[in-house]
A = this chain, B = another copy of it.
Amino acid sequence: MRLSTKGRYAVTAMLDLALNGQDGPVTLSDISENQGISLSYLEQLFAALRAKNLVRGVRGPGGGYFLGREADEISIANIICAVDEWVEFTRCQGREDCRGGQRCMTHNLWDDLSRQIYEFIEEISLADLVSRGQGSNHGCHKEKPAGIQDDLSEQAA
């Protein structure tokens, strides 16, 4: 599982699409302007999204992009996997030379964790994110998630 800025760009763009695609297609120019992502980069991202049928393009003036299917049938995992190719991490593919299973144990544990995280974002759909946004404040205030900088280092030092 990989979760980098590239995936964020894709999720953000798809969100924009879900929010603004109610009445007619949304152009990449719009998304580019709305989200501050370069047009050509968006085109690359959407090439990947299109390949997975997550979006549908309409050419010509008045064209743009629609979601490829209903927003409640597109998971965050779908989006991220489309642009951020899933990479296998473990290298010991069935080999026996893994130090008495020790090495493979940590690898299996990582696989478990990786799968857990995947299943977690698999459960969150675009529609979830949209409906979540309905009731909350849409202002520009930002609050850092609590506990991100757990500076135990200061205390312990």
Question: What is A's interface to B at a CB cutoff of 8 Å?
Answer: 1-5, 8, 11-12, 15-16, 19-20, 33-36, 51-53, 68-69, 76, 78, 81, 86-87, 89-96, 98-99, 101-122, 124, 129-130, 132-133, 136-142, 145, 147-150, 152-153, 156-157
A-B contact pairs, 18 of them (CB 8 A): A3-B4, A36-B103, A52-B153, A69-B152, A90-B142, A93-B142, A94-B140, A95-B140, A96-B140, A104-B139, A108-B142, A109-B129, A109-B130, A109-B133, A112-B133, A115-B145, A117-B117, A117-B121
A5: chain B residues at CB < 8 Å are 2, 87, 89
Known contacts A76-B113, A113-B76; is-contact A104 B148 (Cβ 8 Å): no
**Quick check: B19 and A91 within 8 Å, CB to CB?**
no
**Quick check: A129 and B113 within 8 Å, CB to CB?**
yes
| Count of this chain's copies in the oligomeric assembly | 2
Distance from A68 Cβ to chain B, minimum over Cβ atoms (Å): 8
A124: chain B residues at CB < 8 Å are 113, 116
A78: chain B residues at CB < 8 Å are 150
CA A153 – CA B81 in complex, angstroms?
13
Distance from A70 Cβ to chain B, minimum over Cβ atoms (Å): 12
CA A81 – CA B145 in complex, angstroms?
13
A1: chain B residues at CB < 8 Å are 3
